[in-house]
Chains A and B, each alone.
Chain A
Amino acid sequence: MNKPVTVADALRLGGVTRRGFLKYCSAIASLMALPPASVSVIAAALEKARRPSVIWLSFQECTGCTESLTRSHAATVEDLIFNAISLDYHHTLQAASGDAAEAAREAAMHDNYGNYLLVVDGSIPTGNPGYSTIAGISNKDMLLEVAAGAAAIVSVGSCAAFGGIPHADPNPTGAVSVADLIKDKPIINVPGCPPIPAVITGVLVQYLTFGLPQLDHLGRPVAFYGQSIHDRCYRRPFYDKGLFAESFDDEGAKKGWCLYKVGCKGPTTYNACATTKWNNGTSFPIEAGHPCLGCSEPDFWDAGSFYKALSTPTGSIGATAVYAAGAGLLAGAALGAVQRSRKNAAIRKHEKIGIDDLTQES
């Protein structure tokens, strides 16, 4: 069988109907907040797009990102879109192993040098190169080698985008993100722990149709990471009314009130969870009664307790205030004593004038 040349060929071979394909294009357009007219543009671009070669490198990761993409729910058009790209190397998904697998990677690099898309999940250890290797090659060496011929890089998951959990304090492996090592290639960060499957494929579709997407200051596509969880949360009206769950089993929690007081990071977290949702659009963590952890923001693992309200100080403020008052009392008493002794000294120095002084002849 001939290899399909365009994305449309691949989709047709995968059994996707025209109707199913357009439905997917509409879903992507709405996800990116594009007008309905753009659906036909996306469809046309996807139909014509040549199947890009994709090399997927997995470094210090838990495979959660791949799981999110491939195992989250039954086969969907998203899966087929993913099949529509030429995924030439993914050591978790591919059948080949050992030298054959590495040969596939080298062949894909050689055939598409300068044009392939590099997808990375997992952070890269910069400590001992032996902390994480593939086929005896350190993660850092492999990333530098494959990135050199890539048209663009997609960092999937918070580990590849920001260092993630391996980067968490005390960061024993010296883990860094892709953007920490690669400075001369366009990098699209798709953070999340894991990212939403529809967002991963959405970013790929956006790249295939419109080229590099508009990114925010953290390198995330604005189309998917442009709004905070808090602003799109269905519990937001409770926040505005001042109705909060105080714990996980109180009346407020049962009534589905806002989880701000139990540590929700929604106000400072930018992601599409509240709109796109998970498990085929079923729900997202806040809907299941758990506060947002802020997993699509850098260093979410070290950003204070998951269960402390975002506005509160992290230290023991009460104790600090008591110590401060004690120190203030001591300092104030000492200053008072100094003032008093100065005043007394001034009184002692003051020469008293008697009647004799006033009547003295000059």
Chain B
Amino acid sequence: MTDTDFLLLVRGPLFDAATFILCAGIVVRILAILLMGRKKNLAEPRGSAVTGGFGTMLRRSLPDAGTFHRSGFTVIAGYVFHIGLFVVIFLFVPHILVFERAIGLSWSGLPSNIVDATTVVTIIALVAVLIHRFTDPVKRMLSTFHDYLVWVVTILPLVTGYLAFHRIGMSGPAMLAIHILSVELLMVLLPFTKLSHAFTLWMARWYNGAVAGYKGVRS
């Protein structure tokens, strides 16, 4: 198989397969949560589940002073790599072209050197997060194979993308193909690992808030 064949394979059938697994996986996981079969609640609440739900969705998205004081590193590194991932995924022009092709929507991107610098910062933040996970006794105790797997599939597209952008190490088509393949691995694993927080995040926050905001006994 030539480098060009490899690139065509990952841009064609493999990308199709990864998209299918990603989309179908997300829908199945969301339905599995929604159709858990909760009993109908007939009791009159004192508070409002909806207000509580939305309030928590907002509050949990902002760092509170207590959390920042207790684990400032996790908060800062977490924000840095999440914002970094957003910039790299959604504001790099070659990536926007993929979204345009998939959903028909397009938007302006950032200059490539800004995305390039963001990539480096994001990689550094992810490495720092891993080191912290190894060195912090509580985090280390709580970590499972799953957490390390998720870390690897998140950082791989960043590293391979950086190498492909700078054409380091391998020929252009092969490095680009490896980058796209690493993204496909992320797409396939996203619905079935902790990475699913990308789409369950708001549901989970709403649920927590709704429970607290309800203020009353359920029938």
Residues of A within 8 A of B (CB): 162, 216-218, 228, 230-231, 239-242, 244, 260-261, 267-270, 297-300, 302-304, 309-315, 317-318, 320-321, 323-325, 327-329, 331-333, 335-337, 339-340, 343
- Given A311-B97, A318-B102, is A333 in contact with B31 using a C-beta cutoff of 8 Å? yes
A325 engages B103 (CB within 8 Å): no
CB neighbors of A among B74-132 (8 A) = 93-95, 97-98, 101-104, 108-113
- Residues of chain B within 8 A (CB-CB) of A335 are 28, 31-32, 35
A340 engages B35 (CB within 8 Å): yes
Q: How far is the CB of B131 from chain A (nearest CB, A)?
A: 32
- Given A298-B4, A304-B8, A336-B35, is A315 in contact with B23 using a C-beta cutoff of 8 Å? no
| Bound Cα distance from A231 to B16, whole angstroms | 30
Partner of A304, one of B11, B25, B27: B11
Chain B 5-46: CB-based contact to A (< 8 A → 1; otherwise 0) = 101100111011001111111111111101111000000000
- Residues of chain B within 8 A (CB-CB) of A321 are 19-20, 23, 102-103
B103 engages A343 (CB within 8 Å): no
| Bound Cα distance from A327 to B191, whole angstroms | 15
A297 engages B97 (CB within 8 Å): no
A299 engages B23 (CB within 8 Å): no
Name the residue on A nearest B35 (C-beta). A336
| Bound Cα distance from A63 to B2, whole angstroms | 25
- Can you add 19 more A-B contacts, CB < 8 Å, to A303-B173, A312-B11, A324-B27? A241-B111, A298-B2, A298-B4, A302-B8, A304-B8, A309-B97, A310-B176, A313-B98, A314-B15, A315-B15, A318-B104, A321-B19, A329-B27, A331-B24, A331-B28, A333-B31, A336-B31, A336-B32, A340-B37
Partner of A317, one of B2, B15, B112, B173: B15
A242 engages B8 (CB within 8 Å): no
A318 engages B101 (CB within 8 Å): yes
- Residues of chain B within 8 A (CB-CB) of A337 are 35
Partner of A300, one of B4, B16, B35: B4
Q: How far is the CB of A34 from chain B (nearest CB, A)?
A: 22
Name the residue on A nearest B17 (C-beta). A320
A240 engages B111 (CB within 8 Å): yes
Partner of A328, one of B23, B111, B172, B180: B23
- Given A315-B12, A325-B27, is A228 in contact with B167 using a C-beta cutoff of 8 Å? yes
Q: How far is the CB of B175 from chain A (nearest CB, A)?
A: 9
- Given A228-B172, A302-B8, A310-B176, is A328 in contact with B35 using a C-beta cutoff of 8 Å? no
* Interface majority SS (helix, strand, loop, mixed), chain A: helix
- Given A317-B15, A318-B104, A324-B24, is A297 in contact with B32 using a C-beta cutoff of 8 Å? no
Partner of B35, one of A230, A244, A323, A339: A339
Partner of A318, one of B2, B21, B22, B103: B103
Q: How far is the CB of B7 from chain A (nearest CB, A)?
A: 7
A313 engages B101 (CB within 8 Å): yes
Residues of B within 8 A of A (CB): 2-5, 7-8, 11-13, 15-16, 19-32, 34-37, 93-95, 97-98, 101-104, 108-113, 167, 171-173, 176, 180
8 nearest A-B pairs in the assembled complex, by CB-CB distance: A332-B31, A328-B27, A336-B35, A268-B172, A324-B23, A311-B94, A328-B24, A324-B24
Interface centre among A298, A312, A325, A335 (most CB of B within 10 A): A312
Q: How far is the CB of B117 from chain A (nearest CB, A)?
A: 12
| Bound Cα distance from A217 to B7, whole angstroms | 16
B5 engages A311 (CB within 8 Å): no
| Bound Cα distance from A112 to B114, whole angstroms | 59
- Residues of chain A within 8 A (CB-CB) of B3 are 297-298
Name the residue on A nearest B12 (C-beta). A314
16 A-B pairs with CB atoms under 8 Å apart are A218-B171, A231-B167, A242-B93, A242-B112, A244-B93, A268-B7, A299-B4, A302-B4, A303-B4, A313-B16, A314-B12, A318-B104, A328-B31, A332-B30, A336-B36, A343-B37
Q: How far is the CB of B206 from chain A (nearest CB, A)?
A: 19
| Bound Cα distance from A300 to B109, whole angstroms | 28
B16 engages A320 (CB within 8 Å): yes
Q: How far is the CB of B84 from chain A (nearest CB, A)?
A: 18
Partner of A240, one of B37, B104, B112, B180: B112
| Bound Cα distance from A339 to B34, whole angstroms | 11
| Bound Cα distance from A261 to B108, whole angstroms | 13
| Bound Cα distance from A117 to B8, whole angstroms | 36
Q: How far is the CB of A118 from chain B (nearest CB, A)?
A: 24
Partner of A325, one of B23, B35, B37: B23
- Residues of chain A within 8 A (CB-CB) of B29 are 332
